[in-house]
Structure 1
Amino acid sequence: MKRTLIVTNDFPPRPGGIQSFVHGLAGRLPPDSVTVYAPAWRGCEDFDARLPYPVVRHPTSLMLPVRAVARRAAALVAELGCETVVFGAAAPLGLLAPEMRAAGARRVVMLTHGHEASWARVPVARRLLARIGGHADVVTYLGEYTRRLLATVIPEEKLVRLTPGVDTELFSPEADRGAEGTPAVAGGIGAGPVVVCVSRLVPRKGQDTLIRAWPRVLRAIPEARLLLVGGGPYRRRLERLAGSLGLGPAVLLTGSVDAADLPRYFALGDVFAMPCRSRLGGIDVEGLGIVYLEAAASGLPVLAGASGGAPDAVLPGETGLVVDGASPEAVAGALVELLADPARARAMGERGREWVTREWGWDRVAARFTELLEPAQTP
């Protein structure tokens, strides 16, 4: 059986959307056909022991395209007889592709996300991205926003759309709402409507805009609660912001939670909101936002920020709304619109669930990924 080596900085138990994407792809290949080479991360020994395929961990928490990483990856290609190498993110590890080919790889597939599209906008990074793309047989993109930027650097014939999939059985309106499965934070929410945001706490995701919007939301819907799920370096600043606005129990922050528990947190919400925004002149941008699709699969209407490819994860007016993620006024207005009309919000959630099940399921994504792994036929 043909073997594939996945070389990636982004792999669980490190949290994140790219990590979940790469993990999902690996898990849908035959276990005896795939090996993952990834950095060490806290808890990785226990995590790897539960996987049906092998994971080789680099001794540090980050892999760069340096000689030591190239040697280790090339040795795995040669030892395992891997015909295909997949880079979980094209930049920067895709620079190692020549060493992979020298070791015996016949096909190189590179996944791209939001940051590669950002590289295409910066002169020095553009040159590196062009070099990376030159070594690839296939470069994947998430949606039209990322394709358009990548195509300025990488030949269009190499570009193929490959989006993350959504586990529509795990993320479902039927997620466990019983007492045993309900997160402890539920006790502080109360009986009013809940807006939930599930994301790492960093400036681009827009949790600060949600907090700034919340006084306006409360004036219209006094019992509304904002639930921010996730950890990250922005947490203390967000807590101070909520305190300075006197929001008290109207805003709850959970801190980091296990990925397996996320469906239960979605189940606490009536609306999902992550008003992401582009930063640093468009360099820090949302590539897609798989969390919008997970929320939609959970039966929630979604509010997305108009950053990068985020609008690709929403059917505006049908599954949710897209607004300026930098505007507390726009965010508050959209949230009040959804919270004040529960019937419309539920209908959006139902349409979102149907759309994600039909267009974003893992079966479709896995079939496409498997096609991309096949080496080109030689005459």
Structure 2
Amino acid sequence: MSRTLVVTNDFPPRQGGIQTFVAALLDRRPPDSLVVLASDHPGSAEHDAALRYPVVRRPTGMLLPTRATARAALELVDRYGCDTAFFGAAAPLGLLAPTLRAAGVRHLVGATHGHETGWVALPGSRQLMQRIASGLDVVTYISEYTRDRLAPALAGRTRLAQLSPGVDVDRFTPRADGAAVRQRYGLGEAPVVVCVSRLVARKGQDVLVAGWPEVLARHPGARLLLVGGGPAEAGLRRAVAARGLQESVVLTGPVGHDELPAHYAAGDVFAMPCRTRRGGLDVEGLGMVFLEAAACGRPVVAGTSGGAPEAVRDGVTGHVVDPRWPHAVAAALTGLLDDPARAREMGAAGRAWVEQRWAWPTIAADLARLLEP
């Protein structure tokens, strides 16, 4: 069997969306088809010992395309007979591609994740992305939105192909039980709108807070559950206090990955009115939280930023709203709370769609095809 060298900075036990993405893809590959070159992180030895494929760690917290990294990659190509390579994030490690090709690696694939749309918008980083793409056979994108931003700069230098993140439909499921979460935060039997995300301006939690009085006017017992931590937390707490919403808005702080399904399940509706900022440099690449919520059988309300609308079938699995207007967000939420049967119908449609389109076996099959020369 041919073997793939995976070169990545983004790998557990370091936490993050890209790390989860890369690890989930590799977990679904034949273990004897892989060898991983990664940066180091506390707990790496214990993590790697449980894996079915070999992982070699460079003694650095940030793997860069240096001569030392190139030598380590070439040693693995030679030792394991690798004929394909996959870069967990194309920039900047994809700069190693020409060196690996000269050593006999026949097919090289590099992934992008969303932030690269900002890279290609700026002259210096655009040239770097073009150089990387020229050395790769395939550059992947996570959504049609990101493809549309990458293509003008990269098309003609490489092949672009979609490789989106997937959802673990066995973890994120309508069977997830939110009762303990409701009890923990004193939510009782109230209708709950939940947002699971890092607390940063792009995600739009402030818009939820601004529109929440309109929701309360129609559903006085409703609760807003903001799950996650981040730099916007202090400002959100001030906004909640200024509007006198302390009794109906709960900020949980950071929550462990294992607890996320229960937090989605604690809500009746999921909402994250994400918006694009900084002239398009701060944008939602796709929005996996919408798909995880849908997998849990919850209707979703999404903003229009970037690829987020691609994670919602508007009017079927939820609604896409203009995140600039708290009134529009509040109207979508009250509409779902007004009609619980319709909300459950949308949640069921979302679950079916995620199983069909976004489950990890489907995504892993996409990667298998992309790794074929």
Specify the TM-score bucket, using the shorter chain as the normaliser: over 0.9
Offset at residue 190 of structure 1 (A): 2.5
Offset at residue 95 of structure 1 (A): 1.8
Offset at residue 184 of structure 1 (A): 7.5
Instruction: Pick closer, same or farther for the CA change 1:185–1:228 going to 2, 3 Å.
Output: farther
Offset at residue 338 of structure 1 (A): 1.4
SS at structure 1 position matched to 2:4: strand
| 1:93-114, Cα deviation, whole Å (9 max, x unpaired) | 2222222223432211011121
Q: In the alignment, which residue of structure 2 is the partner of 1:55?
A: 55
- Correspondence 1:175-190 to 2 at 5 A: 175-177=176-178, 182-183=180-181, 186-190=184-188
Question: Partner letter of residue 193 of structure 1?
Answer: P
Offset at residue 177 of structure 1 (A): 4.6
SS at structure 1 position matched to 2:146: helix
SS at structure 2 position matched to 1:76: helix
Whether the aligned pair in 1 keeps the contact of 2:141 and 2:164 (CA below 8 Å) is yes
Offset at residue 345 of structure 1 (A): 0.9
Question: Partner letter of residue 32 of structure 2?
Answer: D
Aligned residues: 372
For structure 2, the residue ranges without an aligned partner over 5 or more in a row are none
Offset at residue 76 of structure 1 (A): 2.7
Q: In the alignment, which residue of structure 1 is the partner of 2:79?
A: 79
| 1:210-265, Cα deviation, whole Å (9 max, x unpaired) | 22222222222121111122233332332233233322132222222222221111
Q: In the alignment, which residue of structure 1 is the partner of 2:91?
A: 91
Offset at residue 339 of structure 1 (A): 1.5
Take 2:218 and 2:370, find their aligned partners in 1: how far apart are those partners? 51
Q: In the alignment, which residue of structure 1 is the partner of 2:18?
A: 18
SS at structure 2 position matched to 1:273: strand
Instruction: Pick closer, same or farther for the CA change 1:6–1:183 going to 2, 3 Å.
Output: farther
Take 1:21 and 1:33, find their aligned partners in 2: how far apart are those partners? 18
Name the stretch that deviates more: 107-116 or 183-192: 183-192
Q: In the alignment, which residue of structure 2 is the partner of 1:204?
A: 202
* TM-score using structure 1 length: 0.91
For structure 1, the residue ranges without an aligned partner over 5 or more in a row are none
Whether the aligned pair in 2 keeps the contact of 1:314 and 1:322 (CA below 8 Å) is yes
| 1:336-366, Cα deviation, whole Å (9 max, x unpaired) | 1212221111111011111111111222211
User: Among 252, 271, 283, which residue is 2:281 paired with?
Assistant: 283
Whether the aligned pair in 2 keeps the contact of 1:35 and 1:53 (CA below 8 Å) is yes
- Correspondence 1:229-378 to 2 at 5 A: 229-374=227-372, 376=373
Q: In the alignment, which residue of structure 1 is the partner of 2:143?
A: 143
SS at structure 2 position matched to 1:232: coil
Take 1:283 and 1:225, find their aligned partners in 2: how far apart are those partners? 33
Take 1:212 and 1:44, find their aligned partners in 2: how far apart are those partners? 42
Take 1:211 and 1:74, find their aligned partners in 2: how far apart are those partners? 52
Offset at residue 81 of structure 1 (A): 2.2
Q: Percent identity?
A: 57
Offset at residue 18 of structure 1 (A): 2.1
SS at structure 2 position matched to 1:248: coil
Name the stretch that deviates more: 37-46 or 149-158: 37-46
Take 2:130 and 2:347, find their aligned partners in 1: how far apart are those partners? 40
Offset at residue 196 of structure 1 (A): 1.2
Q: In the alignment, which residue of structure 1 is the partner of 2:162?
A: 161
Take 1:212 and 1:160, find their aligned partners in 2: how far apart are those partners? 39
Name the stretch that deviates more: 324-333 or 309-318: 324-333
Q: In the alignment, which residue of structure 1 is the partner of 2:173?
A: 172
Name the stretch that deviates more: 286-295 or 58-67: 58-67
| 1:168-212, Cα deviation, whole Å (9 max, x unpaired) | 12111011456xxx3476442232111111122222122222222
| 1:102-127, Cα deviation, whole Å (9 max, x unpaired) | 34322110111211122222222221
Take 1:9 and 1:184, find their aligned partners in 2: how far apart are those partners? 37
Name the stretch that deviates more: 273-282 or 320-329: 320-329
Name the stretch that deviates more: 304-313 or 124-133: 124-133
Instruction: Pick closer, same or farther for the CA change 1:85–1:196 going to 2, 3 Å.
Output: same
Take 1:246 and 1:230, find their aligned partners in 2: how far apart are those partners? 21
Take 2:325 and 2:14, find their aligned partners in 1: how far apart are those partners? 31
Instruction: Pick closer, same or farther for the CA change 1:198–1:185 going to 2, 3 Å.
Output: farther
Whether the aligned pair in 1 keeps the contact of 2:91 and 2:132 (CA below 8 Å) is yes
Instruction: Pick closer, same or farther for the CA change 1:242–1:76 going to 2, 3 Å.
Output: farther
SS at structure 2 position matched to 1:272: strand
Offset at residue 320 of structure 1 (A): 0.7
SS at structure 1 position matched to 2:84: strand
* TM-score using structure 2 length: 0.93
| 1:293-321, Cα deviation, whole Å (9 max, x unpaired) | 11111100011110111111111011011
User: Among 223, 226, 232, which residue is 1:228 paired with?
Assistant: 226
